[in-house]
């Protein structure tokens, strides 16, 4: 089937591109509530697609950045990097997408495309730094990027993925960050059937980690500081649940795990968790809390490894989406209107989310 009607293409002769004025929600300064705002999206260039945003997940990284916890934040800031929507316009040289496609956009919207990481399809490790979806600048070094708490976005066709049929779109949105950020280290570090895997922290990332590790055949234990999450952990597929507020739990579970995925957003004692790893086993940090000390013996005594992992590349993101669709895996979500975003942030701070807030952007249209 040939799909190339000209009405699918950006209209008009080449020339200065119009700015598309788009409703959004933004923080105007650090630690201030999000308020209604408008952003200008670029009219699609030859390789761009314009996407109507349907759902956008709420990641703890949004909160870290709105609170300027990683410093250097750019305000006004429109957060949101778990975007699912429909293509409404494509640039004249776009072949990969057509109007009506259901697509996702994750944590970055561009990268240098030339470095070793980009060439290897590992754009999240771009040596120039990927262009993050918000709180960043486009490759021109000037234009601020604005995220998915808005009704549409213009993105280069190479930084967009296909949402497979069968995945409910609200439950698919969190896969664009929480899904790929947990899938990528599980795969990269070779987690396999029968491995004893611990997921540390049962939030947005953690609950996806449980589902994905289980789908890979691992024996999964949740390590949580919230005793009330036990039933949910088991329902999500975990085989065991350990409350980390109980100091004796560290002795009982010493040298138990082949792999620990640490998703905790607040400062905690890495050394205590390293003690739960077997000989030659690995703990991977994906959570980004304030720094905490590391003591060499926690690694040395069992030749353990401590590693980190950042999101995942575009090809791997597509692979993860297809993996999830084939197994009916989506996020457990609480769908909210954009008007409830500040309450959602408060709850996220208290680890009170089951297990991802997802904004229905229809609430911003009306
Ligand atoms: P989240 O939904 O808020 O979950 C974080 C979980 O950490 C909480 O549910 C809680 O689990 C645990 N936790 C929170 N405060 C704690 C405390 N004081 N002591 C012990 N445990 C605590 O956050 P998320 O969206 O999953 O994000 C988690 C972290 O990953 C954030 O730092 C985020 O910025 C980072 N992140 C990194 C990447 C990457 O590429 N590396 C990508 C996305 C996000 P329990 O209640 O079960 O203890
Ligand atoms: Zn995220
Ligand atoms: Zn690069």
Q: Is the CB of 317 under 6 A from ligand 1?
A: no
What is the position in ligand 1's atom list of the atom closest to the CA of 348?
Answer: 3
Q: Is the CB of 111 under 6 A from ligand 1?
A: no
Asked whether the beta carbons of 65 and 101 are under 8 A apart, the reply is no
Q: Give 269-273's long-range contacts (Cβ < 8 A, gap of 24+).
A: 270/294, 270/298, 270/306, 271/295, 271/298, 273/200, 273/223
Q: Please tell me the distance between residue 4's alpha carbon and the centre of ligand 2 in angstroms.
A: 35
Nearest CA to ligand 1 atom 38: 286
Residue 16 pLDDT: 64
- Residues whose beta carbons lie less than 5 angstroms from ion ligand 2: 59, 61, 177
Ligand having the closest approach to the CA of 345: 1
Instruction: Please list the pLDDT of the chain residue by residue as tens digits (366 residues).
Output: 333 333 344 444 455 678 999 999 999 999 999 999 999 999 999 999 999 999 999 999 999 999 999 999 999 999 999 999 999 999 999 999 999 999 999 999 999 999 999 999 999 999 999 999 999 999 999 999 999 999 999 999 999 999 999 999 999 999 999 999 999 999 999 999 999 999 999 999 999 999 999 999 999 999 999 999 999 999 999 999 999 999 999 999 999 999 999 999 999 999 999 999 999 999 999 999 999 999 999 999 999 999 999 999 999 999 999 999 999 999 999 999 999 999 999 999 999 999 999 999 999 985
Residue 15 pLDDT: 58
Q: Is the CB of 205 under 6 A from ligand 1?
A: yes
Q: Is the CB of 175 under 6 A from ligand 1?
A: no
Asked whether the beta carbons of 204 and 353 are under 8 A apart, the reply is yes
Our mutation pick for probing the ligand 1 site, out of 265, 286, 313, counting the most ligand atoms within 8 A of Cβ, is: 265
Query: 36 is written with which tokens?
Result: 């209604």
Q: Is the CB of 226 under 6 A from ligand 1?
A: yes
CA dist 168 and 176 (Å) reads 13
Q: Please tell me the distance between residue 135's alpha carbon and the centre of ligand 3 in angstroms.
A: 18
List the beta strands (DSSP E) in the chain: 19-26, 35-42, 48-58, 83-90, 102-105, 108-110, 131-132, 152-156, 161-162, 196-200, 219-224, 240-243, 257-262, 277-285, 305-308, 333-336, 356-360
Provide the whole-model pTM.
0.96
Residue 119 pLDDT: 98
The full DSSP string for 281-329 is EEEEE----S-----HHHHHTTT-EEEE-----HHHHHHHHHHHHHHT-
27-79 tens-digit pLDDT? 999 999 999 999 999 999 999 999 999 999 999 999 999 999 999 999 999 99
The DSSP call for residue 114 is -
What is the position in ligand 1's atom list of the atom closest to the CA of 64?
Answer: 34
Our mutation pick for probing the ligand 1 site, out of 56, 57, 58, 60, counting the most ligand atoms within 8 A of Cβ, is: 60
Nearest CA to ligand 1 atom 46: 226
Q: Is the CB of 286 under 6 A from ligand 1?
A: yes
Ligand having the closest approach to the CA of 117: 3
Q: Is the CB of 287 under 6 A from ligand 1?
A: yes
Q: Which residues contact 217 (CB under 8 A, 6 or more apart)?
A: 192, 193, 194, 195
The sign of the torsion formed by the CA atoms of 71, 73, 78, 84 equals negative
The DSSP call for residue 75 is S
228-279 tens-digit pLDDT? 999 999 999 999 999 999 999 999 999 999 999 999 999 999 999 999 999 9
């Amino acid at each position: 089937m040939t799909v190339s009607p000209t009405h699918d293409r950006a209209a008009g002769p080449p020339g200065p591109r119009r700015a598309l004025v788009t409703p959004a929600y933004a923080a105007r300064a650090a630690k201030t509530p999000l308020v209604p705002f408008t952003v200008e999206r670029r009219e699609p260039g030859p390789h761009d697609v314009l996407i109507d945003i349907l759902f956008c997940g709420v990641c703890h990284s949004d909160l870290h950045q709105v609170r300027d916890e990683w410093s250097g934040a750019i305000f006004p800031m429109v957060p949101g990097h778990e975007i699912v929507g429909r293509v409404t316009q494509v640039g004249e040289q776009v072949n990969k997408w057509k109007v009506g496609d259901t697509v996702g956009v994750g944590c970055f919207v561009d990268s240098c495309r030339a470095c070793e990481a980009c060439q290897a399809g590992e754009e999240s490790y771009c040596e120039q730094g990927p262009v993050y979806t918000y709180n960043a600048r486009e490759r021109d070094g000037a234009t601020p990027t604005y995220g998915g708490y808005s009704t549409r976005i213009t993105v280069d066709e190479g930084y967009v993925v296909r949402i497979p049929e069968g995945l409910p779109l609200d439950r698919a949105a969190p896969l664009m960050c929480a899904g790929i950020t947990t899938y990528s280290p599980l795969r990269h570090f070779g987690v396999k059937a029968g491995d004893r895997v611990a997921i540390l922290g049962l939030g947005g990332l953690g609950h996806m980690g449980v589902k994905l590790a289980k789908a890979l055949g691992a024996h999964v234990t949740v390590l949580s500081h919230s005793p009330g999450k036990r039933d949910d952990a088991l329902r999500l597929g975990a085989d065991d649940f350990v409350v980390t507020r109980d100091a004796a739990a560290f002795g009982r579970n010493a040298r138990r795990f082949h792999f620990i995925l640490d998703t905790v957003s607040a400062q905690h004692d890495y050394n205590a968790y390293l003690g739960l790893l077997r000989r030659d086993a690995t703990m991977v940090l994906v959570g980004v809390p304030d720094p905490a000390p590391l003591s060499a013996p926690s690694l040395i005594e069992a030749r353990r490894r401590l590693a980190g992992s950042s999101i995942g590349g575009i090809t791997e993101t597509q692979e993860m989406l297809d993996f999830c669709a084939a197994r009916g895996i989506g996020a457990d979500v609480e769908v909210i209107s954009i008007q409830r975003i500040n309450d959602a942030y408060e709850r996220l701070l208290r680890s009170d989310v089951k297990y991802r807030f997802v904004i229905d952007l229809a609430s911003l249209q009306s």
